[in-house]
Every structure is written in structure tokens, then in C-alpha cells.
Chain A
Amino acid sequence: FTPDDATTTTGTRETAFIYAITSAAVVHAITQSCSAGNLTDCSCGRVTGDSDTLPPRGSDLEGWKWGGCSDDIVFGMEFSKKFVDAADSRGRKKRSRNIRSMMNLHNNEVGRKAIQQQMSVKCRCHGVSGSCAVKTCWKTLPSFKRVGDFLKKKYMTSVPILRKTRRRLRRKQKLSRKVPIGDDELVYLEKSPNFCKSDKKRGIFGTRGRECNRTSTGPDSCNLLCCGRGYNTQVVRFVERCGCKFVWCCYVKCNTCETIIDKHTCK
């Protein structure tokens, strides 16, 4: 997607997801660079025994202490907030921002929080022959795939919001309008198009040529993905090495296996 694509210019659920995952990606990349020492302004995280934000959970009792290089998420979060949000925070005052900017800012925040929420603690034992007499632990970033999975779940349950705001976002659904929108909920303004047909103007490529699953009933099924246009079948041949054996000495002997599968693509 480019900045002019409809996927990012109209405020759909897909747009929400893109904003969230982009801002999460910035946090992730910056934090990783900090730990790797590639940036001058940050380094490993400041997680020490007397830190207020991260208490020394049972450090002495259970026999471990903070150590190693924790990922410094604070710097990453701040950086992402300044950098990613800059595009939508041009209006100084909150009131002058339009609804679309507010939607983007919210979704950026959801992305950042997704990373923060999934930080985990990793430990290593340093005792004699690997025993856990001495143990150091550090905070580590979640794998980005996990963040993606998490945001995908949020995408499925994202919340439509009203165009009219009263300084804060409100749900479109009448009954739950008073329920505040949490920072783990993606929000969107418009219904998504169906993405079936290619529409260059709106940056939609259509589903022609996409691979589909003939036996599934979900969104990847040929029926739904191809929007009823049907599918083509191709015979695909895979040649792989298989049944490899070690022969003394010293080489590995393999057979070549051929698998033939039907590949279905949308018409």
C-alpha cells in the first residue's frame, strides 16, 4: 500500500489494522536496535532491582535477579509516539483535529500497547553445569508474528465509531455508546469494500489469481475468496529431496520425491 491508496485514505477496518501494525513495527524495530547497540540515544533497558516500574519480583526469595540486556521498550514507545503520530497531530489542540486523525492516533496507540502488553521475561541459569543456583532474567520483546496475530484478533473485533466526536471517540452502536473505547480496541469509520474486483483508482487489486482453499468454508475458501467467480485448477509438481541417509563415510544419499498437487486460483 502507498499513502494514496484507498486502503489508507478511507477509514476502514483494514486501514485501522495497517496503522496499528505500522506503529507497532516502529516500536519493535527501534527497541531491537537499542538492544543491539545500533542507536546512540538508547541502549539496554533500565530494569534494575530498585526500579519502580518493574519491581524485583521475588528476586532474592526465588534466587534470581535482573540482568543481561533487557529490551528498552520505553524509548521505542516514545519514539514511535513522536514519529508515527506526527502525521496526524498537526493540529496543536485536540479540538482542531478531524475524526480521521483521531482514528489514526487511536489505532497507532493500540499497536504500541499491543507490544507493551506482550513483553515477557526470559531467564537463564548460570550455576555449575547449568544448574539454576544463579539465575538472571531480562525483559524481552515478543516475536513480531505474535504481535501480528494479536492485532489480527483485534481487527476481527474492531469497533465502528461515530463521525461526530465530543473530544473523545464514541462507539457507533447505540446501546454501548457510553462504554469508553479501550486502548486494545481498533476503531474504524467506514464499512469495508468487498475487495472482489480490481479497482486501480481505489488501490484494490481484486482477488483474481489468488490461491484459494477448495475444502475450507472460511474466508480463504474458493467460494468466498473468489466471490462466486469460480476457480482455475493448475497441476503443480514439487520435486524434493527425501529419504536422506547418511552413508559411511562421509556423504548423504537422498532420493528425489515428486509430489503433484492441484493448486486452485480464483478466476
Chain B
Amino acid sequence: MKLVCTLWALLFLVLAAAPVARVHAVIGRWWGIASTVAVQEHANMVPGVARKGSAIMLDPKKHPLNKKQRRLVRRNPGTLESIGTGAMLAIKECQHQFSNRRWNCPVNTNDHVNSVFGNILKRGCRETAFIYAVMSAAVAHEVGRNCAEGTIETCSCDYRSKGPAGEDWEWGGCSDNVEFGKQFAKQFVDAGEKTKDSVRYLVNMHNNEAGRVAVAENLRRECKCHGMSGSCTLKTCWMRLPNFRDVGDSLKEKFDGASKVAVPDIGNNRGSRAKVTGLVPKNSRHKFPTDNDLVYHERSPNFCRNNPRLGFEGTRGRECNVTSRGLDGCDLLCCGRGYATRQEVTKERCNCTFQWCCQVKCEECVRTKTIHTCL
């Protein structure tokens, strides 16, 4: 099952790859690396076990990077792969988190658009905020972990916490190097932004940071017992990065509570915190966004109908849940247009039994599934 999924994902990304690779030279969005990774894994014909560090990967020139990013990658050999897998991870996470929403994080397969996520990036809405945060989080996450795995030459495990720490345990082993991950992601991701004086710049920077903070926040302690026959008289612990799903979950929560911000008028002094980010909440009664909150400065479109300017196809044809009152329910997902219902007959293997020796015998069950799709 997993293999099939990976194959599908690969096929999908391969389709996306060609156009992206061509255009982002202009735009300079490093996110296109995701598709290059996919192409490469496909070229190796061994999905999932792609040989690391092969020729294409090592040449930064082949990637949609700007000067500063190339320099960074060159100076830290091994990071290019982390960025690539990170970008893929982020895209998958985005699609998972938004699978129940109208905007479901679609990735481009279209020639006329200029980056992986399309024109949604030209806006400054909540969805854009999530994309920036999750992408930057993924880089910090992957680099931090790959440091500990030893695939990046300029960093290794985080050995800063050492020695006895608690009553019955001590620091030891190899902690994921989240500090290096964050630093690298900061330099690399933030280097992708060009115009440095706009609201959008400040908003993007803030969201990049929020993504990295989300990774660090979810860091947790993992321990192992070394006593006699596994008893816990001796215990060593190290810091481990979370599953990226946890990071995605916490970013999705931040997405729900994202604050709408603006740049304050000059001369309008609103206290010290405002000066740090330069952003204040649009409604002065709302809470100031902290480092780990997502911010945006434009309203989201409703994502109901096909919007060519946005490159979003609308929710027509999407599968919906009749019984749900939430956003995945037919009422909200289809924007009140109604839904079509059809029966789908699927054949499934069922009642499998093991027979000596050695085969598994299954019956074939026919199941009818009712599927609702938006009109």
C-alpha cells in the first residue's frame, strides 16, 4: 500500500516537475527542488531508496536557487538533499492538513504558472502564511535530523547538553541538531525573499520564523535504559525532533488562529514589541502575534469556484462528507451548490485465512460505497 502511494506521489510530482524546472529560474523559488528530487528518485527507479548524493543532487546550478542560497548549499555539502526531501515533506504535509478544506494545497501541473504552489503565493492570505511556515519548518526539520544522521558535512549531533541532568538519568547519545537546522533554514529560506520593504516581506519573514519555532517547540526528550537486562538503573536521554506530522498539526492550529496584520503608520509608536517585527494587528484590540503565530495581511478568497487568476480549480468534483457539519461536509465544501451521489462497486479481499503451509486464501467481497461529489 505504502509503495503504491509513493509511486503515485512520484508520478504526480514528475508531471509537475518539467514546467516548474523551466520557470523558476526567473522567480527563484527554491521550492521547485521538491520536483527535482522526485525526478531523480524516479530516474533511479528505486523509489524510497534513492541513492543519496548522486551527481544531479550535488550540483546546485541545476536547482532553482539564487546566488546566496547556492553559496550556502555549496558551503554545507549534503544540505541540498535535506532541502529537497524537506520540500517534498512539506508539500505532502500541506496536502494532508488541508485535505478537508476547500483549498486543498494543490500543486501545479500547469505550464503557465511560475512556482509549485501557483499564484496563491502572490497573495498574502492565511493559506500563503501556512505554505511559508511549513516549507521553512521542513527545511529546519530535515537539516536538523540529517545533521544527527551524519549526512551533512558541516554539522553533527547536538552535544551541548551533557552529563547528569535528573535524578536517574543523564544526557547522552546524539541529539538532533535543531539549532543548526534553524540557523541554516533561516539563512537559506529567508534569502529567497527579495523586496525587503513591503508588508509582504515582513509577513513572509514572520511566517518563516513561525515555522522554525514550531519545529523547535515540538522537540522532545527520548530516553533509553541501559541497566541489567533492560532495567532503568542507568538511563540516557537525548533530544529528538518530532514527527513532521506533529509540526504540521501545530502549524495548522496556528493557521486557524492566524492574525491579520499591517505595518503601522510612521510616527505611530505602539510599544516595543511592534518594533521588533514591524507588524501590528490590524484590529488594535486583537492580541499581538508572537513569534510562533502565523500572520497574514489579505483576506482569503472563498475558493469556491474556478479561479484562473489564482490557479485554483474550485471545489467542483471534490468528494464530500454528507454527515459532517464541518468544512468537509457537503454543505460547506460545495459552497451550497449541492452534490451528486453515486454508488461505486468495489471488489475487496476479505475473510482471509492462513492455510498450512503456506498460503493465504481470501474471498472476494463486493462492496457498494456511496460517494458524494460537489456539483
| B and A form one assembly | yes
Count of CB-CB pairs between chains A and B under 8 Å = 44
On chain A, the residues within 8 Å of B257 by CB distance are: 214, 222, 230-233, 264
Q: Give Cα A230 to B102, complex, Å.
A: 14
**Interchain CB contact under 8 A, B332 and A232:** no
Binary interface encoding of chain B residues 176-198 relative to chain A, with 1 for a CB under 8 A from any of its CBs, else 0: 00000000000000000000000
Could you tell me the distance in whole angstroms from the C-beta of B302 to the nearest C-beta in chain A? 9
**Interchain CB contact under 8 A, A230 and B327:** no
On chain B, the residues within 8 Å of A196 by CB distance are: 332
On chain A, the residues within 8 Å of B126 by CB distance are: 230
On chain B, the residues within 8 Å of A223 by CB distance are: 256, 326-327
Binary interface encoding of chain A residues 146-176 relative to chain B, with 1 for a CB under 8 A from any of its CBs, else 0: 0000000000000000000000000000000
Q: Is A262 an interface residue (CB 8 A)?
A: yes
On chain B, the residues within 8 Å of A230 by CB distance are: 126, 255-258
Binary interface encoding of chain A residues 210-237 relative to chain B, with 1 for a CB under 8 A from any of its CBs, else 0: 0000100001001110111011111100
**Interchain CB contact under 8 A, A234 and B287:** yes
Could you tell me the distance in whole angstroms from the C-beta of B273 to the nearest C-beta in chain A? 13
Mostly, the B contact residues are loop
Q: Give Cα A219 to B329, complex, Å.
A: 14
Q: Name the CB-closest residue of A to B126.
A: A230
CB under 8 Å from chain B, chain A span 178-205: 194, 196
Q: Is B283 an interface residue (CB 8 A)?
A: yes
Q: Give Cα A233 to B331, complex, Å.
A: 27
**Interchain CB contact under 8 A, A262 and B327:** no
**Interchain CB contact under 8 A, B285 and A234:** yes
**Number of A residues with CB within 8 Å of any CB on chain B:** 18
On chain B, the residues within 8 Å of A233 by CB distance are: 257, 259, 286-287
Contacts A194-B332, A234-B285 given; does A228 touch B325 at CB 8 Å: no
Q: Looking at B285, B287, B336, which has the most chain A CB atoms within 10 Å of its CB?
A: B287
Q: Give Cα A86 to B101, complex, Å.
A: 47
**Interchain CB contact under 8 A, A235 and B325:** no
Q: Give Cα A53 to B257, complex, Å.
A: 59
Mostly, the A contact residues are mixed
On chain B, the residues within 8 Å of A214 by CB distance are: 257
Could you tell me the distance in whole angstroms from the C-beta of A28 to the nearest C-beta in chain B? 31
Q: Name the CB-closest residue of A to B288.
A: A235
Contacts A194-B331, A194-B332, A196-B332 given; does A222 touch B256 at CB 8 Å: yes
Could you tell me the distance in whole angstroms from the C-beta of A221 to the nearest C-beta in chain B? 9
CB under 8 Å from chain B, chain A span 216-262: 219, 222-224, 226-228, 230-235, 262
Could you tell me the distance in whole angstroms from the C-beta of A102 to the nearest C-beta in chain B? 27
Q: Give Cα A34 to B283, complex, Å.
A: 52
On chain A, the residues within 8 Å of B259 by CB distance are: 232-233
Could you tell me the distance in whole angstroms from the C-beta of B268 to the nearest C-beta in chain A? 20
**Interchain CB contact under 8 A, A227 and B285:** no
Q: Give Cα A234 to B283, complex, Å.
A: 10
**Interchain CB contact under 8 A, A224 and B287:** no
Q: Give Cα A92 to B325, complex, Å.
A: 41
Point out the residue from B102, B256, B325, B327 that lies within 8 Å of A231, measured CB to CB. B256
On chain B, the residues within 8 Å of A264 by CB distance are: 257
Q: Give Cα A262 to B259, complex, Å.
A: 14
**Interchain CB contact under 8 A, A235 and B327:** no
On chain A, the residues within 8 Å of B258 by CB distance are: 230
**Interchain CB contact under 8 A, A227 and B327:** yes
CB under 8 Å from chain A, chain B span 122-138: 126
Q: Give Cα A228 to B259, complex, Å.
A: 14
On chain A, the residues within 8 Å of B285 by CB distance are: 234
Q: Give Cα A92 to B213, complex, Å.
A: 72
Q: Name the CB-closest residue of A to B256.
A: A230
Could you tell me the distance in whole angstroms from the C-beta of B326 to the nearest C-beta in chain A? 6
Q: Give Cα A219 to B325, complex, Å.
A: 9
Q: Give Cα A18 to B255, complex, Å.
A: 36
Q: Give Cα A233 to B257, complex, Å.
A: 7
On chain B, the residues within 8 Å of A262 by CB distance are: 287
Could you tell me the distance in whole angstroms from the C-beta of B286 to the nearest C-beta in chain A? 5
CB under 8 Å from chain B, chain A span 43-98: none
On chain B, the residues within 8 Å of A232 by CB distance are: 257, 259-260, 283, 286
Q: Looking at A194, A233, A235, which has the most chain B CB atoms within 10 Å of its CB?
A: A233
Point out the residue from A194, A219, A235 that lies within 8 Å of B287, measured CB to CB. A235
Q: Give Cα A235 to B289, complex, Å.
A: 11
On chain B, the residues within 8 Å of A234 by CB distance are: 285-287
Could you tell me the distance in whole angstroms from the C-beta of B5 to the nearest C-beta in chain A? 26
On chain A, the residues within 8 Å of B286 by CB distance are: 232-234
On chain A, the residues within 8 Å of B325 by CB distance are: 194, 219, 224
On chain A, the residues within 8 Å of B336 by CB distance are: 194
Could you tell me the distance in whole angstroms from the C-beta of A199 to the nearest C-beta in chain B? 11
Q: Give Cα A22 to B336, complex, Å.
A: 31
CB under 8 Å from chain A, chain B span 233-286: 255-260, 283, 285-286
Q: Name the CB-closest residue of B to A235.
A: B287
On B, residues with C-beta under 8 Å from A are 101-102, 126, 255-260, 283, 285-287, 325-327, 331-332, 336
Residue pairs across A and B with Cβ atoms less than 8 A apart, 14 shown, are: A214-B257, A222-B256, A223-B256, A223-B326, A224-B326, A227-B327, A228-B102, A228-B326, A230-B256, A232-B259, A232-B283, A233-B257, A233-B259, A233-B287
Across the A-B interface, give the 7 residue pairs with the lowest CB-CB distance, nearest first: A228-B327, A233-B287, A230-B256, A235-B287, A194-B331, A232-B286, A231-B257
